[in-house]
Amino acid sequence: MHTNRKKGSAEIISIGDELLIGQVINSNASWMGEQLFLNGISLDRVTTIGDDEQQLHSAIDSALERVQFIFLTGGLGPTSDDITKPSLCNYFNVPLVFHQDAYDQVEALFARRGMQVSERNKQQAMLPANCTAVANNNGTAPGMWFETGDAIIVSMPGVPFEMKPMFSEQVIPLIKQKFTTSHYKFKTVMTTGVGESMLADRIKQWETSLPDNFKLAYLPQPGIVRLRVGGQSDDAASLMKQLNEQVTSLCSLIPEYVYGFDNQSLEEVVAKKLTEKGLTIATAESCTGGYISHLFTSIPGSSAYFKGSVVAYSNDIKTELLNVRKETLEQKGAVSEEVAKEMAEGLLGRFNTDFAISTTGIAGPDGGTAEKPVGTVWIGIATKTSCYAQRFQLGEQRDRNIRRSALTALNMLRLCLIS
């Protein structure tokens, strides 16, 4: 019995050469991490190793010193580079024996598919003598459940559509039945239009006064900072109440930056508002080059509120399709308040929508001047009764400038829609 072993904690050991050379991203571990988290089991570590017996033995040894639940994925297929099963036999010093229940499962699966069980598949019912088979309803390799002292080791296939149902429908329920687990709840607050450091300054006092069972994490992405508030407790009901209170007081400190919750995208939030209000929109894009249009049209059903876009990369198109005046372009330059406004107004006239958004800026890397450096962006919004434009100074990288310009435009529109 290991005295340092942390009760209710878990580690994942992901097995496969393909994970180490960048051929496959380890999305299994991330998905399992979320499932464990949502079930109140703390995942302490993920170890990714190649198809190597010694590495596997040493990874299991050290995991057993630390945690109670160990999950292996990978290395269970019918081909010769799959090493998990023989390695586990050697680890526990037990032989492979025929497991009737595992065989019945495979046979049932093949029967459903109208196929005969092959000799190679029969071999898959040969499992280490000390394990219990875990049914695989989506493939031929059964999972294996081992108990050693007060710890368990569960080995599962690496193929996601076999592993996921096995894990959530069988392994997790069995753990909850056999062990007591604590409650963890969290909520993610989505913010835009503000950097990590400025946010940190604004919410410092709230953050330091968080109760001990609560934790805040900053999760930045280009143009967006996610704030994850999470807490742990033995009492699920009071935890939920506490969490809601904390999130409410956090949001009240930064109302102008909070656009949504729990990984909602900004375009989804704006799309929902437009749909609710029965309003339509179109975009006139120069520096964003169609990216705002792409964001809207990535959402299923967007044709209800999104009418289309003119990507006016050349000045001719700005004049021809958006009615921007030649004099404005000559006197003020394409990247200017006036052109942003004329683009939005011209578009509104053409597309006859409730809103028109325009962008014109210098995405880079070239084209900057002392007065209008790379990252200068004007964003315009026109409605049937008003038109205005705002200047933003973004960064130096083209792809990030495009992304941030688009998010900034969406946020301006969001603020219009809730005002």
**Which residues, numbered 275-314, are part of the site for its own copies (CB under 8 A)?**
283, 285, 288-294, 296-298, 300-303, 306-314
Site for its own copies, residues 236 to 275, rule: CB under 8 A: none
| DSSP class per residue in 360-398 | EE--SSS---SSS-TTEEEEEEE-SS-EEEEEEE--S-H
**Closest approach of its own copies to the CB of residue 370, in Å:** 11
Site for its own copies, residues 178 to 197, rule: CB under 8 A: 186, 188, 196-197
State yes or no: residue 79 binds its own copies (CB under 8 A): yes
Site for its own copies, residues 161 to 180, rule: CB under 8 A: 161
Return all residues near 90 (Cβ < 8 A) that are at least 6 apart: 53, 57
Segment near its own copies (CB under 8 A); pick from 245-253, 271-279, 337-345, 397-405? 397-405
Residue from 57, 122, 183, 228 binding its own copies (CB under 8 A): 228
Long-range contacts for 198-203 (Cβ within 8 Å, ≥24 apart)? Answer: 199/225, 199/227, 199/254, 199/257, 202/253, 202/254, 203/227, 203/250, 203/253, 203/254
**Closest approach of its own copies to the CB of residue 132, in Å:** 25
Q: Are 299 and 330 in contact (CB under 8 A)?
A: no
- Strand duo 183-192 + 258-261: pairing: antiparallel
State yes or no: residue 117 binds its own copies (CB under 8 A): no
Based on CB atoms, which residue is closest to its own copies, 121 or 233?
A: 121
Based on CB atoms, which residue is closest to its own copies, 186 or 388?
A: 186
Residue from 94, 117, 194, 200 binding its own copies (CB under 8 A): 200
Q: Are 187 and 180 in contact (CB under 8 A)?
A: no
Based on CB atoms, which residue is closest to its own copies, 94 or 350?
A: 350
Return all residues near 30 (Cβ < 8 A) that are at least 6 apart: none
Based on CB atoms, which residue is closest to its own copies, 49 or 131?
A: 49
Backbone angles phi, psi at 201, to 5 degrees: -65, -45
Number of residues that bind its own copies (CB under 8 A): 108
- As given in the structure block, the two tokens for residue 22 are 């960048």
State yes or no: residue 393 binds its own copies (CB under 8 A): yes
